[in-house]
Structure 1
Amino acid sequence: MRAVEPVPTDGSPRAATRLGELAAAALDGEGPAVLPTGPGEPAPAAALTAPVDDDVAAIVTTTGSTGDAKAVLLPATALRASADATHRRIGPPGRWLLALPAHHVAGLQVLLRSAHAGQPAAAMDLRDGFRPDAFVALAGGAGAAYTSLVPTQLGRLLDAGGAALAALRSFTAVLLGGAAADTALLERARAAGVPVVTTYGMSETCGGCVYDGRPLDGVTVDLEPDGRIVLGGATVAAGYRGAVSDVDRAAFTGDRRFRTNELGAWSPDGRLAVLGRADDVIVTGGENVAPASVERALLAQAGVREACVVGVPDPEWGARVVAAVVGDGLDGEALRAAVAPGLGRAAPRAVAVLDALPLRGIGKPDRAALRAYLARAFGGPFGGSFGGSFGGPFGGKDRT
């Protein structure tokens, strides 16, 4: 059995470097397994710090989108398989620039891939949030070949242009994950010469394991009859530890497969299209509405930078479709009218204009928080649409 060492991180390069060193040692079997914690998080409970099997190199907590966060056991073999498969797909091992929180699986993987290449990662100082100028300084001075971003960060760098765009172009590959990226953002980045590679995965698969819709070497993707995505192969974690439900525990099927809570479909060219979480589907008047389809329609409208669609309780319909958007000079009612003809009964009954979407983890929209906020805003009988501005608890603050 192997000891577990909690490793606190605070967004500083020093903390990230220490985590990278300890994680690299754990990967090589020369130290305890690491359990990274984020800024301000309490010390892990004793149940999480008890010894683990010898092959476990890291324990990463999920962002808890469907309830309490879960602790995922990541074997050294799975982490190595992930790093090797990544570089077989995007290019030879090299130095990485860390622009993500180090305690999340995507950030930890940046540290481990750099260590695996024998070149410690260049780590941004994220204590005051993500700053394009700081990204530019490290991209130019560290000779980093790779980086990993979330869509919000990519959008800000593209908006900055100039040196920021040049920095993006300098990488061999820019991995993009953590949250769904809209088609317009991807087209904009690629038209500007940025080598963007979209990734899909989760803590339970050592991070991204499907790149640009195609599984990495050694990874399998299957779709159940209802469209639920099942991922398999060498990058799958060893399971959870701590108090988890029987449903969560059963997601690991015992044959290196993980049954996700997300829905997918195969595109005509054989790529996986992720349609969203199964529990995000909105049932309104007996009809199922996938939020992703409504979000795509909103993001296609001029001026819309971000969109998130949720269902809020309705005594007649069970739920009503409500959207929140972020952008400049937007009018909620005009947006609702513009997308309604193409969406039919899936059209949002209301569109709220926010200063910023609530986020969790490393850039995913916090649908639970947004649902609660919009339910309060649209409380009681509802028969129209709303185009006002809710700065509220999410307004203006950089949550990247």
Structure 2
Amino acid sequence: MNDVLAHRARATPDATALIDAGSGREWSYAKLDAAVDRTAGRLAELGIDPGDHLGCLLDTRPAAVRLLHAALRLGCVLAPLNTRLTPSELGGRIERADLAGLICEADTEANAVEASEVPIASVNDTERTEVTTLIDVETAEFEPTTWSRDDPCLMLATSGTTGRPKLVVLTVGNLVASAVASAFRLGVLPDDRWLSPLSVYHMGGLAPIVRSALYGTTTVLVGNDGTGFDTAATHHALAEHDCTGVSLVPTMLRRLLDAGDLPDSLRFVLLGGAPASTGLIERCERRNVPVHPTYGMTETTSQVATARPDEAFAHSGTVGQPLVGTDVAVIDAAGERVAPGETGEIAVSGPTVFASYYDDPDATAAAVSEHGFHTGDVGYRDTEGRLWVTGRLDEQIVTGGENVDPEVVADALRAHSAVDDAAVVGLDDPEWGERVGALVVADDDLDAETLRTHCRERLAGFEIPRTIAFVDSLPRTASGTVERDVVRETLR
């Protein structure tokens, strides 16, 4: 098969492929295809060959879209890198990924130069002698790659909220299967416009770009400069460009709802990256927001299960049924499937599950069994097959010999009307082994003792947080995952 953009440009050349909400520029599939061809030719001139690993240190912008498709056209493996990493962190990722080259931009150029000695090119003009300006490179002739479904095409780092992040290898088949499964759940219409404010170094930000090209629909980009979410720009772009879909994490959605009503053009709000509170789902129901809470991860090419709005409103907390082609097993410590309603580790199998962790066969083998990929997440399926995710295996708290599920405690905290969000972790305790700690985002007039009184009506005594601290926002990764080590250090 050819790369997805080449196929789409032949099928619907005049359809709108990409809109940059910041500048208002638009590209048809024919124009985007031509731009990608030029980018691929310049990469070939720089010596990037099929099978090479090409680093991408770009934020959410049209240049990142062109680079993704150019890498597919050349037959190399694209390795998007987190633009918020320090040079020392970035250097470790670059070395482990075995990059043949790295594409940066003005804002990431200095870190790229400091982090590594691999050949670097910038999509912007540069004054650095170590960095080539990509647009000034001659366009070489090259042979577009023909792909098979088993060929690796992406390498993405796991969130890395605890321990050393691993590099997840995804194949062309993974991307296609994910797009097909998502289409069955969300639906696809010819005039769809999918807005993505998420970072392109996470699968949640890449997925709309790949899927839109497969569907022949439009991607709308709202610039993400790596420093935060622009609520006003995103709110404006949704209405200005009649967007029918948007990918968000819960914090983004809360801010958009605080800013005003969302446009009637929206068919779906794909909400992932972190658990959505009951209060947030209830706000969506009251305001007719078509929220689709989803559960997924890098190793599953994004979505595993997604709830449609009616299901989300009727069964707050569920992430719905697994997507077509995806099998979800809930297993106990002995590796046996448990009955509906019983809690265990979530394992996922199907065509969206990753190929391997790069250059780490031991980690790959340890993560997979006859049930599929062991996610490390804890949850259960109810009698109708809906999936509920309750926490992480490595986040379980044992205090005085009693097991505490952090997400159960966090849900109880979020049930207080003054609490916007909460994260719960175990803290070392000389008497009990661990004690329950909570970092809470709440109104200014709420105090710890009032919150404990609220919890006594909902939790057992050993589950009530002994340590509570209040913050303006929870520390999160760019994908929306709570940084639990930072939470723990803050509470200490």
Same-fold call, TM cutoff 0.5: yes
Q: How does 1:71-90 map to 2 (within 5 A)?
A: 71-90=167-186
Match of 2:322 in 1: 215
Residue pair 1:310, 1:323 contacting (<8 A) in 2 also: yes
SS in 1 for 2:55: strand
Identity %: 39
Match of 2:443 in 1: 328
C-alpha separation between the residues in 1 aligned to 2:59 and 2:301? Answer: 22
C-alpha separation between the residues in 1 aligned to 2:164 and 2:364? Answer: 11
Match of 2:349 in 1: 232
Residue pair 1:22, 1:34 contacting (<8 A) in 2 also: no
Shift of 1:190: 2.2
Q: Output one character per residue of 1:243-283: Cα deviation in whole Å (capped at 9) or x when no partner.
A: 57x35542133x68211101111234331110100110000
Match of 2:201 in 1: 103
C-alpha separation between the residues in 2 aligned to 1:297 and 1:100? Answer: 29
Q: Letter of the 1:191 partner, please give it.
A: R
Shift of 1:46: 4.3
SS in 1 for 2:388: strand
Q: How does 1:8-87 map to 2 (within 5 A)?
A: 8-11=57-60, 13-22=61-70, 26=72, 30-41=74-85, 42=90, 44-49=93-98, 55-87=151-183
C-alpha separation between the residues in 2 aligned to 1:65 and 1:129? Answer: 18
Check 1:14–1:349 CA distance in 2 against 1; reply closer, same or farther (3 A cut).
Answer: same
SS in 1 for 2:473: coil
SS in 2 for 1:364: coil
SS in 2 for 1:171: coil
Aligned equivalent of 1:356, options 466, 470, 473:
473
Q: Letter of the 1:80 partner, please give it.
A: V
Instruction: Return 5+ residue gaps in structure 1 as ranges.
Output: 376-400
Q: How does 1:254-293 map to 2 (within 5 A)?
A: 257-293=372-408
Residue pair 2:157, 2:166 contacting (<8 A) in 1 also: yes
Match of 1:397 in 2: none
Q: Letter of the 2:328 partner, please give it.
A: V
Match of 1:372 in 2: 489
Relative to the length of structure 2, the TM-score reads 0.70
Q: Output one character per residue of 1:91-147: Cα deviation in whole Å (capped at 9) or x when no partner.
A: 115331111111101101121112222345211111152122211232223333221
Residue pair 1:234, 1:256 contacting (<8 A) in 2 also: no
Match of 1:143 in 2: 242
Relative to the length of structure 1, the TM-score reads 0.85
Shift of 1:16: 3.3
SS in 2 for 1:343: coil
1:342 matches 2:458: yes
C-alpha separation between the residues in 1 aligned to 2:222 and 2:392? Answer: 31
Residue pair 2:55, 2:94 contacting (<8 A) in 1 also: no
SS in 1 for 2:160: coil
Check 1:277–1:360 CA distance in 2 against 1; reply closer, same or farther (3 A cut).
Answer: same
Residue pair 1:38, 1:103 contacting (<8 A) in 2 also: yes
C-alpha separation between the residues in 1 aligned to 2:429 and 2:442? Answer: 27
Moved more, 142-151 or 279-288: 142-151
C-alpha separation between the residues in 2 aligned to 1:88 and 1:373? Answer: 42
* Matched residue count: 364
1:198 matches 2:281: no
Q: Letter of the 2:329 partner, please give it.
A: D
SS in 1 for 2:385: coil
C-alpha separation between the residues in 2 aligned to 1:47 and 1:38? Answer: 14
Shift of 1:228: 0.5
Shift of 1:47: 4.1
C-alpha separation between the residues in 2 aligned to 1:137 and 1:148? Answer: 15
Check 1:142–1:30 CA distance in 2 against 1; reply closer, same or farther (3 A cut).
Answer: farther
Match of 1:383 in 2: none
**Larger Cα Rg: Structure 1 or Structure 2?**
2
Moved more, 280-289 or 209-218: 209-218
Instruction: Return 5+ residue gaps in structure 2 as ranges.
Output: 1-49, 101-146, 308-319, 334-343
